[in-house]
């Protein structure tokens, strides 16, 4: 599968993960003022850097295909969404008030989408996309470290 892209490589995984994360971060950087006009530059830059960092972390996690404690397989399509969801959960946990304002501005104060913890699901979807491209172009497993 990787012959057209070269050997599996951890550096390639991280670079692709960061690039895809940067794309999502730029989307957030550009569109946050439309949803939350009072959002400052720190929030916008934070979103940009957050998703770039998420891409790098998902790229690194692609080395692990077996859970060392639970002794269960960890394919990219399970690990990458989990890491993305976890990182966005932590972001929502610490930035709850700002995230709540953003969700209320987008969807209103009442209803199913009124919880800012929907950003956790968004992180899982973005993590899946990042994981797909990182695995597609950078490989998966311990062979990424060996080359």
> How much is the pLDDT for 147?
60
Half-sphere exposure of 71 (CA within 13 A, CB side): 0
CA 99/CA 2 separation, integer angstroms: 40
For residue 104, give every residue at least 6 positions away whose Cβ sits within 8 Å of its Cβ, in sequence order, or none. Answer: 114
Q: What's the pLDDT score for residue 65?
A: 81
Rounded Cα distance, 134 and 17, in Å: 5
Q: What is the pLDDT of residue 57?
A: 96
2-13 tens-digit pLDDT: 445 667 888 999
Predicted local distance difference test score (pLDDT) of residue 1: 46
Q: Which residue has the tokens 């050997």?
A: 7
The parts of the chain modelled with pLDDT lower than 70 are 1-6, 147
**pLDDT, position 14:** 93
Planar angle of CA 138, 22, 81, nearest 5 degrees: 60
Q: What is the largest CA-CA distance in the chain?
A: 52
pLDDT of res. 2: 46
pLDDT for the residue numbered 107: 82
Query: 130: domain range?
Result: 3-146
Count of domains observed in the chain: 1
């Amino acid at each position: 599968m990787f012959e057209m892209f070269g050997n599996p490589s951890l550096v390639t995984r991280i670079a692709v993960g960061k690039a895809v994360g940067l794309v999502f971060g730029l989307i957030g950087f550009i569109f946050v003022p439309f949803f939350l006009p009072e959002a400052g530059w720190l929030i916008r830059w934070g979103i940009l850097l957050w998703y770039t960092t998420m891409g790098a972390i998902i790229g690194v996690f692609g080395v692990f295909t077996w859970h060392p404690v639970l002794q269960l397989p960890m394919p990219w399509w399970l690990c990458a969404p989990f890491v993305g969801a976890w990182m966005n959960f932590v972001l929502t946990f610490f930035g709850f008030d700002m995230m709540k304002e953003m969700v209320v501005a987008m969807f209103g104060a009442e209803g199913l989408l009124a919880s800012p913890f929907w950003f956790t699901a968004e992180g899982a979807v973005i993590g899946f996309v990042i994981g797909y491209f990182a695995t597609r172009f950078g490989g998966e497993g311990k062979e990424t470290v060996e080359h």
